[in-house]
Homo-oligomer: A and B are copies of this chain.
Amino acid sequence: MTSKVGRSTLKMNSSPAIISYGAVAGKKESEGPLKDHFDKTYSDDYLGQDNWEKAECQLQKDVVSITLEKANLKADDIDIVFAGDLLNQNISSHFSLRDLNIPFIGMYGACSNMAETMNMASIFVDNEAAENALALTSSHFCTAERQYRFPLEYGGQRTPNSQWTATAAGSIIVGPANRAGPYVKQICIGKIVDMGVNDINNMGAAMAPAAADTIRTFLQETQTKPEDYDLIVTGDLGKVGSRLLIELLQQDDITIEQQYNDCGLLLYDLKRQEVDAGGSGCGCSASVLCSYILPKIKNGSLKDVLFIATGALMSTTSFQQKETIPCIAHLTHLSNTQWEEEE
């Protein structure tokens, strides 16, 4: 059963377990530092499909089937699935899930999707509205580029602050608290923050204030400090946004540098792989969480982790209409222990 810690922070009193997780990744991602951690990798962008949208859909299909298999579950064992992606009208999620016949809630939080869907899955399980709930998201470099930026054939130059949309997908199953962890202990629901950034080639800078707002709110409401966590990891702020986040929090005397990292910096070797400011996309934080962070919590090398996935909520239309970029960050407090064990 859930209780309110503050307006934004909710405590999952049963500490639901993440009973399974999976991550799949594209060619570039599988040549990066996390290459040995993914459940499946691909050597071309099409995954044997006719077009990139179907390829992204295939990423999701594969990661769901891997995640189910690792838990020895079938689609029918899942009570509800929360999913979303970056494509207009969430088509990757709708087409990947349409044959599975699972009650479905569509979500949109741009690159914050992994935390947003995991948080909703946790609320459902914590309150016994679901026994097993699936959270799912993905992104694909080629589908995102052609939807948000330029046709790839055009060969446009990238700016040094731009980030590389990951071709990857991640999914987790939140299940009963009596199963082995990692566990979800708390969640913090982000607010929309828009500090007036309008450069769509510098998403990290646009999203950093939203991440700062959520981290600040969570620490205040829980009366905890950065030192209480082994890792504070954002979704895809990249090089520019990460630096900004550290500075923004420092202004409020919150020092996170010791514990801090960013999935967009973990996924690639920035210089060697020429990804400019780092990785981005729903699949970036999702695949890093599900391949690298969750296993470390499971094996005890990380104890308490704050996972903060960040999303930029503009569209090409709003950009063309000269709007600034509203952003959001949702936080999940993950742990290798449950509330019962401590209190």
Interface residues of A (CB under 8 A from B): 1-4, 7-8, 10, 50-51, 53-54, 79-80, 84, 87-91, 94-95, 97-98, 100-110, 116, 120, 123-124, 127-130, 147, 189-194, 313-318, 321, 323, 326, 328
Contact = CB atoms under 8 A, between A and B. Distances in A.
Given A88-B89, A315-B89, A318-B91, A2 B191 contact: no
A326 B97 CA distance: 10
A130 B123 CA distance: 12
A143 B314 CA distance: 16
A129 B123 contact: yes
Contacts of A323: 95
A89 B53 contact: no
Nearest to A8: B103
Given A91-B317, A94-B192, A98-B192, A106 B104 contact: no
B89 A314 contact: yes
B95 A105 contact: no
A16 B285 CA distance: 35
B53 A103 contact: no
A53 B317 contact: yes
12 contacts: A4-B79, A4-B128, A4-B129, A7-B103, A8-B103, A53-B317, A87-B317, A88-B315, A90-B313, A94-B326, A123-B124, A123-B129
A108 B110 contact: no
Contacts of A190: 103-104
A104 B192 CA distance: 7
A130 B314 CA distance: 27
User: Which one of A3, A98, A192 has the highest number of Cβ atoms from chain B below 10 Å of its Cβ?
Assistant: A192
B192 A97 contact: yes
Nearest to A94: B313
Contact of A315 (B91, B130, B314, B315): B91
B189 A128 contact: no
A316 B146 CA distance: 14
Contact of A80 (B54, B116, B189, B313): B189
A229 to B, nearest CB: 21
Nearest to A129: B2
Given A95-B318, A98-B326, A103-B189, 6 more contacts: A84-B106, A90-B108, A91-B313, A105-B116, A108-B108, A123-B124
A104 B10 contact: no
A300 B246 CA distance: 56
